[in-house]
Structure 1
Amino acid sequence: MLTAVIACFIIGYIVIVFEHPLRLDKTVPALLMGALCWALLSLGFNNGSLAIIDGHEHIFSMATDAGGDHAMDHLVAEEGFTANLLHHLGKTAEILIFLIGAMTIVEIVDLHRGFDVLKGWVRTRSRKRLLWIVGGLGFILSAIIDNLTATIVLVTLLRKLVPDRDLRIWYVSLIVIAANAGGAWSPIGDVTTTMLWIGKRVSTAGLMEFLIVPSIVCFALPFLVASFLKPFQGEIISDELDNPEGGDDRLLSSRTMLFLGLGMIVFVPIFKTLTHLPPYLGMMLSLGVVWLVSEYIHPEEDFDEERKAAYSAHKALSRIEMSSILFFLGILMAVAALETIVVGDVGALRAVAESLQSVIPNQDWVIFILGFLSAIIDNVPLVAASMGMYDLAEYAIDDKLWHFIAYSAGTGGSMLIIGSAAGVAAMGMERIDFIWYFKKISWLALIGFAAGAAVFVAIETIF
C-alpha cells in the first residue's frame, strides 16, 4: 500500500508538470492526488499494513497483537489518524485563508484602478532606464503583493508603454526575474515563503536580514548584463510617453486604495510580531479594513448605488482565482499524506531527507539543486516536501537551511518560463515562447541565481 500512495503522488506530480501539453488545469490532478493519497493511506492504515506518525513523533498503527486492550488500541489509533488529518488540514487552511485575504485586497485595489497610479511614475524614453524602473518596481512590489500579482500588474503597464511586442517580451521576461527575486526575501512575497513563515520555519526579520542582499544580487546582476544588450539600447516610441496624462484613466479613489491596500498587506507581519497570533488573523483584519473603506469611498464624481457593485469587495471576491487556492489545497494535503506515512521509524519525507544526506553530504548542494528542480516542477510541493523532510526540532526557526530553501525555491524558477507562477502568467499574457525564453533569458536568470546563492552562503558563513 505504501507503493500505491507513492505511485499516486508521482503520477499526479508528472501530470501537473505536463499540464500545458496535456491541456489540463493542474488543479485537477492536484485535487485527485490529495484525495487519493489520503484514501489509500486510510485503507492501508485500517488493514494494518501502514502506520502513521504525528508531529510529536507518536506512531499509530492498527496492527496490534491479539489479546489485552486490543479494542482500546484500535480506538486510540483511529483517533490518532483523525487528529493527524485535522492537524494537516488546519495547517493547510492557515495558508489558504491568508492567500484568499491577500488576493481579495489586491483585487479591490485593482477594481479601483489603483495600479494605474504606477503609470504616472514612468517619465523616460530611454530603454535602459525603463528596464531599471520596471525592474525596481517588480522587485519592490513583489515583496508586498506577491510576485505573481506584481508580474500581472507590470505586464499590463508595459502594454501601454511599449507597443512593440518583440521589444516588450524582453522587458516582461526580465520582470519575471525581478519579481521572483523580490518575492524571495519577503514572507508575503511568494507562496513558498508564506508557507515557511506560517509554518514557523522563518521569521520576518530573519528572512529579510539574510535574504535581502542575495535577492538584490539575483535581481541586479541579470539586469546589469541585460542593460548592455541590443534590445535595451536607444529610445522607445510610445504615444503614452509622448502624452503621459492623456491616457490617465484613474478614479478618485485610485491613489487612496493603492496605498491603503499595500499598507494593510505590509501591516500583517507587524501584526504577527506584536500579537504573536497566526498571520491569517492579521490578513483577516487587513481585509476587513480595506473592505470597510471600499464600502464608503467614492470612485467617481457622480457615484450612486447602481455603480457601487462594480467596485465592491463582492466583485473582487468573484475575480479571485479559486482554482489556484484549490491547487494548493490538493498539493499540500498530498504532501501531508507522505509526511504522515511511517517508513522505518520516521515519516516518509524525513526518510528521503536522510537518504539524500547520505548520498550528498553537503546540504548546501542539496538545496542548490532544489533551485534547479523548481525551474522544472512547481516550487510549492517542493517546499512543502522540504518542510516535511527536515525536522523542526533539529533545524529551528531561521536556521540557514530554511533561508536557503526560501531563496532557491523562490528564485530558481526564473531559469525556465514555466518554473514559477510569475513566469507562467507572463507566458500566458504575452504568449512568450518556451524556446525563445530558454535561449534569450535563461542564462541571465542562471547567473543571477548562482551569484545570489554564492552571496547567501558567504553571508551565512561569515555571520
Structure 2
Amino acid sequence: MILALTLAPPLWASQDSSSPSSLSAVTHPAALLCLVVFILSYIAVLMEEYTHMRKSKPVMLGAGLIWVIIGVIAPSYGVDHDTLHSAIFHGLEEYASLLLFLLAAMTYISALEERNVFAVLKCKLVQAGFNYRQLFWATGIMAFFLSPVADNLTTALVLGAVVMAVGNGNPRFVALACINIVCAANAGGAFSPFGDITTLMVWQ
C-alpha cells in the first residue's frame, strides 16, 4: 500500500511540475481519501490481536482501493492509460522481486530450523551458565549478527526463548533482555544489505 502511495506522485510529476494543476493533486479530495484509506488499513493491522484477521487482508484491500482512486482521477490530470499502466506494473515488478528474495531467504531459514541449528544454539547458551549481565550482552550481540542472515522475527523468537529459559524467575530481566534483543535485531538488519524487508527498503 505504501508502494501505491509512493508511486502516485510520479504520475503527477510526469506532467509540468510548475503547473498549479499538478500541485493541486496533493489537496485533491481523492488524495485525502487515499490517506484516509491508508490510515484505516493501518488501524485494522494494529487491531489484529482483537479482530483475529490477517494483516495482509486490510493491507491488500487498502492498496487496491488506493490504486482504483488513482486510476479514476488520473485522466483529469492528463495522465494517459499507458502511463498509469506502466506505473502499476512497475510496482508489481518491485513487489515480485522482493517476494522472490524473501522466499529464498525463508527457505534458507527453514532449512536451518529443520536441522535444529537454532535449537542447538539455545541449548549451548542455557548450558553455559551465564549470569544475567553476561546473557544480556551475549544475546544482544548474537541478535545483531544473526539478524542479517535470519529475519528479525526468527532471531527474536530464538534468543527470546533462551532468555525466558534462563531468567524464568526474573520477569524484569526477561523484559529488558527481550527489548535489547529486538533493538539489536533491527540494528543488525539495517547494518547489512542481506537483512530483512525493512533493511531492503532502507538500502533501496
The CA deviation at 1:21 is 4.8
Aligned to 2:32: 3
Aligned length: 172
- The answer as to whether partners of 2:189 and 2:196 remain within 8 angstroms in 1 is yes
The CA deviation at 1:13 is 2.5
In 1, Cα distance between the equivalents of 2:169 and 2:193? 35
The TM-score normalised by the length of structure 1 is 0.34
1:124 to 114, 129, 133: 129
The TM-score normalised by the length of structure 2 is 0.73
SS at match of 1:42: helix
2:98 to 95, 99, 119: 95
User: How large is the RMSD of aligned CA atoms in angstroms?
Assistant: 2.3
Aligned to 1:30: 59
Aligned to 2:167: 162
Structure 1 stretches of 5 or more lacking a match?
52-59, 62-76, 200-463
Change (3 A) 1:163 1:4: closer
1:84 and 2:90 matched: no
Q: Comparing both structures, which one devotes a greater share of its residues to helix?
A: 2
Cα deviation digits, residues 242-300 of structure 1 (max 9, x gap): xxxxxxxxxxxxxxxxxxxxxxxxxxxxxxxxxxxxxxxxxxxxxxxxxxxxxxxxxxx
Change (3 A) 1:6 1:159: closer
Bigger RCO of structures 1 and 2 (CA < 8 A, at least 6 apart): 1
SS at match of 2:141: helix
Percent sequence identity over aligned pairs: 31
Deviates more, 1:171-180 or 1:129-138: 171-180
Amino acid at match of 1:33: G
- The answer as to whether partners of 2:132 and 2:167 remain within 8 angstroms in 1 is no
SS at match of 1:145: coil
In 2, Cα distance between the equivalents of 1:6 and 1:171? 37
Computing the radius of gyration over CA atoms, which structure comes out larger, 1 or 2? 1
Aligned to 1:184: 190
Cα deviation digits, residues 40-90 of structure 1 (max 9, x gap): 222223xx33x4xxxxxxxx52xxxxxxxxxxxxxxx22222121111110
In 2, Cα distance between the equivalents of 1:13 and 1:104? 28
1:111 and 2:140 matched: no
In 1, Cα distance between the equivalents of 2:168 and 2:61? 42
In 2, Cα distance between the equivalents of 1:170 and 1:155? 11
Change (3 A) 1:4 1:163: closer
In 2, Cα distance between the equivalents of 1:125 and 1:10? 45
The CA deviation at 1:34 is 0.8
2:178 to 162, 172, 177: 172
